[in-house]
Amino acid sequence: METNRLKVIYKITYPNGKIYIGQDITDSINYFGSADGKLIEKDFTREERKEFAIKKEILWESETATQQEINQKEIEFILKFNSNDPTIGYNKRPKKGSPNR
């Protein structure tokens, strides 16, 4: 018997305290987002990368949300946590200070 997969909005917290907000429509325990690896690499030395732990938190979940609703929720949480501010997080969109948020 197949059950509906939850659609989730999650927050990843890196060892430097910066965050990334993302969505996963499969609720995979092994999915950690599509943040820009090159951007993250710049914040860590080679030594720091030898032992690296991140934290994943589910901020919101739904069985029935449409893709449009999920996209809206993701932006809502990016703005709430200010993770599109490069000093706080790794989200590139929406651009910080843009009229579209």
Is the pLDDT at 2 greater than 60? The verdict is no
| 1 pLDDT tier (thresholds 50, 70, 90) | very low
On whether residue 97 sits in a domain, the answer given is no
Domain that holds residue 44: 7-81
What's this model's pTM, rounded to 2 decimal places?
Answer: 0.89
Residue 96 placed within a domain: no
The reply to whether 46 falls in a domain is yes
> Residue 80 pLDDT more than 70?
yes
- Asked if residue 32 is part of any domain, the answer here is yes
Q: Is residue 91 part of a domain?
A: no
Q: What is the mean pLDDT of the chain?
A: 92
Domain count for the chain: 1
- pLDDT, residue 3, reads 58
> Rounded to an integer, what distance in angstroms lies between the CA atom of residue 26 and that of residue 8?
8
pLDDT digits (tens, 9 = 90+) for 20-68: 999 999 999 999 989 999 999 999 999 999 999 999 999 999 999 999 9
Q: Look at residue 71 and tell me whether its pLDDT is greater than 90.
A: yes
- In terms of Cβ atoms closer than 10 Å to its own Cβ (0-12, 13-18, 19+), residue 37 is exposed
Residue 70, H or E segment: helix 67-81
CB burial of 71-80 (b: ≥16 within 10 Å; e: otherwise) equals eebbbebbee
Amino acid at 70: I
Q: Is residue 22 part of a domain?
A: yes
Whether 93 maps to a domain, the answer reads no
Q: Is residue 87 part of a domain?
A: no
